[in-house]
Amino acid sequence: MSLQSEIAKRRTFGIISHPDAGKTTLTEKLLLFGGAIQKAGAVKSNKADKAATSDFMEIEKQRGISVATSVMGFEYLNTKINILDTPGHKDFAEDTYRTLTAVDSVILVVDCVKGVEEQTKKLMQVCRMRHTPVIVFVNKMDREGKDPFDLLEEIEKELNISTRALSWPIGIGGSFKGVYQLNNKALNLFSASKKHIADDSIAINGLDDPKLEELLGQRLTNKLKDDVELIETVAEPFDRDLYLSGYLAPVFFGSAINNFGVQELLETFIKIAPSPQGRETDTRKIEPNENKFTGFIFKIHANLDPNHRDRIAFCRICSGTFQRNTFYQHNRLNKKLKFASPTSFMADNKSLVEEAFPGDVVGLYDSGNFKIGDTLTEGESLQFIGIPSFSPEIFRELENSDPFKTKQLEKGIHQLSDEGVAQLFIQNPGNRKIIGTVGELQFEVIQFRLKNEYGASCHFRPVNISKAKWISATTPQELEKFTRRYAQKIAFDKENKPVFLASSAWDIEYAAKEYPAITFHETSEWE
Ligand code: G4P
């Protein structure tokens, strides 16, 4: 098959949601449709991720399991689907943000009872930064939830995106009867606790078909007719280009646990979602159909088994064909590397990859060569961009508890920061280490792993920092002036970029007023 056809048949996406909205359940149902798993339950193991447990080993066990479900590939209707898994637990949200740099689109799951939640908003912000196309799946329609019109309005307002329903629910909760597919005017009737997968769509001849009333009764039929009329008068027809550019989210309704609305979602997804897209680098845009292989590392998973120290670096293929046992250029290290056992993971299976194409993700065994964001090519010197760090939310100073293990601590904390476990900011003089995370659990992870893998002991000291802003200036002299004036609040990130560590929003405002030549950035990459 030509490279072009390999690209055209691929869809690489992530499923995101606030914990508990049904991401795991939906993932599992999609895998069932794809025949990738035989029974429900295979993906569930990852689910405990979201429990607000502080039992560290429990989390690590789950993280171990989640390697297997990091990327789930399967074929459906001649399409190769790659689902990139994202951790459910909010303390590992950074992992999710990074995974979103490796997808071409997302499916966002919203709970119809709870509507748009905290984490949904944050994840959407990340999607918007990259104009990632989003499909919304409103889940749990078998429960008494919010009115679907109100939900659409809430999604538009809270997530700052236009919506267009492509299916419409008939009744809700106890009276939920099914969904009407607005585009192909078919009806799907709901039967709770469906264990099997069946094509249950009923063709009807438009909303005036008498069959409708026979199936739904008069009240629900009238309500459906009114709803559809309203949608079709107020909403524009679905515009795929607007969806592809990230401005319009098609919306589906269903109940993942009951396997309802999932097939329509999947089939529409295959039709409208983008195939692997071009990606920006520091020198030029790479198109997927270029013959030469390029890819970047977006996730690194440590192997917690002390007997097998190697890690797995997940590489998203951006162009050309990746081949096993072929030398590729690691641009940051300016080093040639080849991979004898590139791996793909699927539920509880893993298999050796001989070749892989744009949109695919391969797991590369790594003994410490990779950092998040590293680029592999066939020799061209370039670096993929668009894999920024975001300002962490919690900051602590890391202190060494065992002076005899200083070296181990240095090595360990740098490696953990390369893996993306947390962000490390160094303040000089003094080599003060400020750790920034999005959740408390990350501190536990660091402490545990430093001890377990590097033999180093540490503790954390509270610091008066609430925000990190990357800074740039109109001239190097201006930057120098600013960093001198604010020396105590300046630190350097893992790429040695200067960061302003602010104790409050007021702090930033004040500094910005005092130094208009300085720009403060939310993330480590800016235009
Ligand atoms: P997450 O990955 O987004 O965190 O959510 P997950 O799929 O684990 O689902 C969260 C809970 O919501 C689970 O219940 C799941 O069974 C339930 N759920 C998912 N889809 C639907 C749906 O369409 N309707 C209803 N009524 N519930 C749904 P749980 O009690 O936490 O777990 P379990 O004991 O059912 O496994």
Instruction: Please work out whether the CB of residue 47 comes within 6 Å of at least one atom of ligand 1.
Output: yes
Instruction: Please work out whether the CB of residue 21 comes within 6 Å of at least one atom of ligand 1.
Output: yes
State how far the Cα of 372 lies from the Cα of 356, in Å rounded to an integer.
20
Instruction: Please work out whether the CB of residue 29 comes within 6 Å of at least one atom of ligand 1.
Output: no
161 CA distance to ligand 1 middle (Å): 26
Is residue 181 pLDDT above 70, yes or no?
yes
Structure tokens at 101: 């740099």
3-state SS string for 96-108: HHHHHHHCCEEEE
**Percent of residues, the chain, with pLDDT higher than 90:** 61
Q: What is the pLDDT of residue 517?
A: 96
pTM: 0.87
Answer whether 16's CB lies under 8 Å from 100's CB: yes
Is residue 200 pLDDT above 70, yes or no?
no
Instruction: Please work out whether the CB of residue 255 comes within 6 Å of at least one atom of ligand 1.
Output: yes
* pLDDT one-digit tens code per residue, 231-264: 988 888 899 999 999 999 999 999 999 888 998 8
| DSSP element (H, E) containing 416 | helix 406-419
Is residue 364 pLDDT above 90, yes or no?
yes
Q: What is the mean pLDDT of residues 144-160?
A: 96
Instruction: Please work out whether the CB of residue 30 comes within 6 Å of at least one atom of ligand 1.
Output: no
Residue 476: Cβ within 10 Å count: 8
State how far the Cα of 153 lies from the Cα of 156, in Å rounded to an integer.
5
Structure tokens at 188: 């799907």
Instruction: Please work out whether the CB of residue 19 comes within 6 Å of at least one atom of ligand 1.
Output: yes
Residues 6+ apart with CB under 8 A from 282: 382, 383, 385
2 CA distance to ligand 1 middle (Å): 41
95 CA distance to ligand 1 middle (Å): 22
Residue of 109, 138, 257, 265 with the most ligand 1 atoms within 8 Å of its CB, for mutation = 257
Instruction: Please work out whether the CB of residue 25 comes within 6 Å of at least one atom of ligand 1.
Output: yes
Q: What is the pLDDT of residue 337?
A: 97
The answer to which of 130-134, 196-200, 345-349 has the lowest mean pLDDT is 196-200
Q: What is the mean pLDDT of residues 380-403?
A: 91
| DSSP element (H, E) containing 15 | strand 10-17
Is residue 488 pLDDT above 70, yes or no?
yes
Burial 22-38 (b: 16+ CB within 10 A, else e): bbbbbbbbbbbbbebbe
Task: Give the residue ranges of the annotated binding site.
Answer: 17-24, 85-89, 139-142
Is residue 527 pLDDT above 70, yes or no?
no
| DSSP element (H, E) containing 389 | none
| DSSP element (H, E) containing 269 | helix 262-272
Give me the count of residues in the chain.
527
DSSP 8-state class, residue 115: B
Q: What is the pLDDT of residue 221?
A: 93
Closest CA to 419 of 389, 391, 396, 440: 389
Structure tokens at 66: 């989640």
Structure tokens at 380: 């061209």
Is residue 45 pLDDT above 70, yes or no?
no
Indicate the residue type of 468: A
Closest CA to 32 of 68, 76, 78, 62: 76
Closest CA to 498 of 477, 517, 480, 516: 480
Specify burial of residue 20 (Cβ count, 10 A radius: 0-12, 13-18, 19+): middle
Structure tokens at 91: 């303390």
Q: What is the pLDDT of residue 348?
A: 57
* pLDDT one-digit tens code per residue, 304-354: 566 666 788 999 999 999 999 999 999 999 999 999 999 887 655 678 999
Indicate the residue type of 453: E
Q: Looking at per-residue confidence, does 276 or 212 come out higher?
A: 276
Answer whether 342's CB lies under 8 Å from 363's CB: yes
Q: Which residues does residue 180 pair with via DSSP β-bridges, in sequence order?
A: 168, 187
Q: What is the mean pLDDT of residues 456-470?
A: 96
3-state SS string for 174-221: HHCCEEEECCCCEEEECCCCCCCCCCCEEECCCCCCHHHHHHHCHHHH
Is residue 50 pLDDT above 60, yes or no?
no
Cis peptide before 429 (omega within 30 of 0): yes
Q: Give, using CA atoms, the residue closest to atom 22 of ligand 1.
A: 140
Structure tokens at 98: 């990074």
Report in angstroms the alpha-carbon separations of 473 from 224, 480, 516, 518, 526.
Answer: 57, 9, 9, 4, 12
Q: What is the pLDDT of residue 192?
A: 61
Answer whether 87's CB lies under 8 Å from 49's CB: yes
Structure tokens at 120: 């949904």
What's the CA angle centered on 349, arms 343 and 350, to 5 degrees?
Answer: 10
Q: Looking at per-residue confidence, does 90 or 427 come out higher?
A: 427
Closest atom, ligand 1, to C-alpha of 25: 7
Q: What is the pLDDT of residue 10?
A: 97
The answer to which of 113-117, 155-159, 368-372, 496-500 has the lowest mean pLDDT is 368-372
305 CA distance to ligand 1 middle (Å): 31
Answer whether 262's CB lies under 8 Å from 256's CB: yes
State how far the Cα of 112 lies from the Cα of 110, in Å rounded to an integer.
6
